[in-house]
Amino acid sequence: MAITADHIRDKLTKELAAVHVDVEDTSPNRCAASYKVLVVSSQFEGKPLLQRHRLVNTCLAEELKEIHAFEQKTLTPEQWEKQKAQ
């Protein structure tokens, strides 16, 4: 399976009911080995950072077998709105 930013974005949006997902291929030559993601989902409400990251990691379990580096930021919709206002 070829892993693309679009694939990751679609899967996170669908499985985590995300209202916003940014995916950036941070590989030096864009070889799909390193990604940075921002996920905004109401499923993160009331959950500590570790639980949020576990939700994302579980969602992308198969993809993470092929990815060498994965950086994630997880926000609730309220946190996202506050961050955008700054």
Q: Which CATH architecture has domain 5-80?
A: 2-Layer Sandwich (3.30)
Local confidence band at 84 (pLDDT 50, 70, 90 cut-offs):
confident
Percent of the chain with pLDDT over 90: 80
Can you state the angle between helices 5-15 and 49-59, rounded to 10 degrees? Answer: 120
**pLDDT tens digits, one per residue of 9-36:** 999 999 999 999 999 999 887 676 899 9
| pLDDT higher than 60, residue 1 | no
Segments making up each domain of the chain, as ranges: 5-80
Q: What is the mean pLDDT of the chain?
A: 93
CA–CA distance, 45 with 16 (Å, rounded to integer) = 12
**Helix boundaries (H) for the chain:** 5-15, 49-59, 61-64, 77-85
Query: Which residue in this structure is represented by tokens 């996920």?
Result: 39
Q: What angle do CA 30, 81, 32 make, to 5 degrees?
A: 10
